[in-house]
Structure 1
């Protein structure tokens, strides 16, 4: 790993605003801990307190994101192409991208915009992109029809795609997203980017058809924050055997399969259900599942605490979820999962051994699988302990993630050097 002299992380945010930002922040901290100089360039917002206390250099491009821009017109225009981002980023990369530097791009759709992609593409900087979602090909980043609440298999930007209102807000928003996707494509994504990181085999199968034939994909699973003490986790596993709650963790939105929760638990008014998260469907859930325990958004510690009070995790996502970190978090404390069979999270669950798969979109199957585990607590406990043992055999810690990243960066720099020769 002698080739890697510096890492520049590029992301919309420097605080945890979602999965991509969480991985970007954790990787920056872990790489810095291993003595690698890290520069974290972000579009907008505050800086995570952990980054402030580290040796990571954080540089803001001082932009608004799409939702917090006081001018809707300006947001619509700069969301397609931000001249200021392009200028500032070009200056920063000219200054900081010295020999042995790798640029790692995580997300760009909230504040960096396609203009950042153009800078990276035209400048031919050594760049690797983590495919946290499908924005490199799909206008809404999910291959999901929010109107019909189903997987979309239309070719992105095809005539059938363009005439279909699949957006979570409106058809006008769909048109705007399609224009952005066209600009994204013209900015070189994904054709002019060669190196990508996949976070699951499942997501690779979905996105690989849209990448250039010369693209190289590296397998680097996302890190998660868990207790480093196996003894502590063992105590949690023992406590879970006496718990009786079913837990859902995630955004309360359509694509996450939240309506399945409503249908599966309506008969009991959610009496045994614990819900961690917020979103557009929160009020609807509260009105129907009035006995459920709503705990709002939680940080990692809050999530692990909620898991330790629960018997089973349900993962109901209806879109092509790229990984599903909460399934791994549950496994780290011995909680078995009932997971949708149409997303990458199923790769983390051995059906019948560490949890159960249910048929995606089928609330009756979800209900039956959950009820089976609740009616058979010894089986649920055995699955939870199996999940726990499997997780801790090779835990996806931040340190292990950083080691894998450095190996990947080194291989990329080797390829680049060979191509120069």
Structure 2
């Protein structure tokens, strides 16, 4: 099968980028011919380029022509869109419709119905725009780039394409990563018949670790919605001295560095390679996943499972589907540092339970998140849309 992947990269090394690259590698390893058409937000630097990007986010004629040219050159059986915002724009959906190529789109976030794509504002979950024909609250609060002007552009994109029914008519099948995310998109009025759940996966298998490092680990973007403030607050108050290693980068990196300088049990490691992250995961006692927004999945959780490492997760959003409390990890109340402390102390008081959970975490990975299982699910989706189009 010939598959054209469209991707507007906005965060190198982010979950969406990693998922796309991993999926591409898996398809190529199974003999499929892949073309990747990718644009990069890093190229938006000058004020003029920012203005052009804002206008093109609603509908870009140049992106449509670019995709039509690539389709004519490559002759794909299916087009898989991972992200179109802002440079590619929804015009790429119309390019595919114009030439009769089936479209699969992975919904990595909530951009179609939330201006900042997170359903998160001012430190808490926000659904003020969910179900509204025009997202006025998001403009009022400047939910995109803290700017009412920028938010107005995204709101216009959402409104125009809801009115045109682009999302209903120009995508043959959506991929959601969890049932939780699927239900949110149904609430937002996407057709249930076009929403298929296919989780993320790890490829290649990094192999099981040993869990002998006697430390806790956080891996992720250092931003408010990821719960990093709650995590640091918990370690400031935690009586039991268990080291916490923090891997990642983001807008709160300076606060994390300050905490690491202040607290002897906190170590900030910055960005690390995938191999280094997997090694750290394999030796960690447990991974902490303190996210406070509706994660669509939680890739680092299944990376931890692959290494046999249990996950201590905030009980919110899609991660509640991924972690089986008492078997592959534990939950704590999102944003509640005291509850996080209580769960950490409970884990440390029962090392035998932790050993059992390591086996179960690895078993969960082998049952649900291997590359082969994911490949079969992905090909089922591709074959379905291709056959329907024919």
Task: Please give the TM-score of this superposition, normalised by the length of structure 2.
Answer: 0.88
Determine the structure 2 residue equivalent to 1:39: 35
Q: Give the whole-Å Cα distance in 1 for the aligned partners of 2:344 and 2:166.
A: 41
Alignment of 1:157-168 (within 5 A): 157-167=134-144
Q: Give the whole-Å Cα distance in 1 for the aligned partners of 2:283 and 2:86.
A: 35
Note the C-alpha offset of 1:228.
5.9
Q: Give the whole-Å Cα distance in 2 for the aligned partners of 1:118 and 1:139.
A: 22
The answer as to whether partners of 1:190 and 1:211 remain within 8 angstroms in 2 is no
Note the C-alpha offset of 1:167.
4.4
2:384 maps to 1:411: yes
2:303 maps to 1:325: no
Alignment of 1:83-122 (within 5 A): 83-97=61-75, 101-122=77-98
Q: CA RMSD for the aligned pairs? A: 2.5
Alignment of 1:18-417 (within 5 A): 18-44=14-40, 65=41, 67-81=42-56, 82-97=60-75, 101-145=77-121, 147-155=122-130, 156=132, 157-167=134-144, 169-185=146-162, 188-192=165-169, 193-213=171-191, 215-227=193-205, 229=207, 233=208, 236-237=209-210, 240=211, 242-267=212-237, 272-290=243-261, 291=264, 292-397=266-371, 399-417=372-390
Q: Give the whole-Å Cα distance in 1 for the aligned partners of 2:38 and 2:189.
A: 25
**Partner SS for 1:275:** strand
Gaps of 5+ in 2: none
The answer as to whether partners of 2:3 and 2:32 remain within 8 angstroms in 1 is yes
**Partner SS for 2:359:** helix
The answer as to whether partners of 1:266 and 1:289 remain within 8 angstroms in 2 is no
| Aligned residues between the structures | 380
Note the C-alpha offset of 1:256.
0.7
**Partner SS for 2:293:** coil
**Partner SS for 2:62:** helix
The more displaced of 220-229 and 307-316 is 220-229
Q: Give the whole-Å Cα distance in 1 for the aligned partners of 2:162 and 2:359.
A: 46
Distance 1:111 1:305, change over 3 A: farther
**Partner SS for 1:293:** strand
Q: Give the whole-Å Cα distance in 2 for the aligned partners of 1:281 and 1:254.
A: 7
The more displaced of 285-294 and 197-206 is 285-294
Distance 1:401 1:79, change over 3 A: farther
**Partner SS for 1:106:** strand
Distance 1:168 1:111, change over 3 A: closer
**Partner SS for 1:288:** helix
Q: Give the whole-Å Cα distance in 1 for the aligned partners of 2:139 and 2:90.
A: 20
Task: Please give the TM-score of this superposition, normalised by the length of structure 1.
Answer: 0.82
The answer as to whether partners of 2:238 and 2:341 remain within 8 angstroms in 1 is no
The answer as to whether partners of 1:114 and 1:187 remain within 8 angstroms in 2 is no
Q: Give the whole-Å Cα distance in 2 for the aligned partners of 1:385 and 1:86.
A: 49
Gaps of 5+ in 1: 45-64
Per-residue CA deviation, residues 144-174 of structure 1 (Å, 9 max, x unaligned), is 11x2433334335343443234445344433
Note the C-alpha offset of 1:77.
2.4
Note the C-alpha offset of 1:347.
1.3
Distance 1:335 1:201, change over 3 A: same
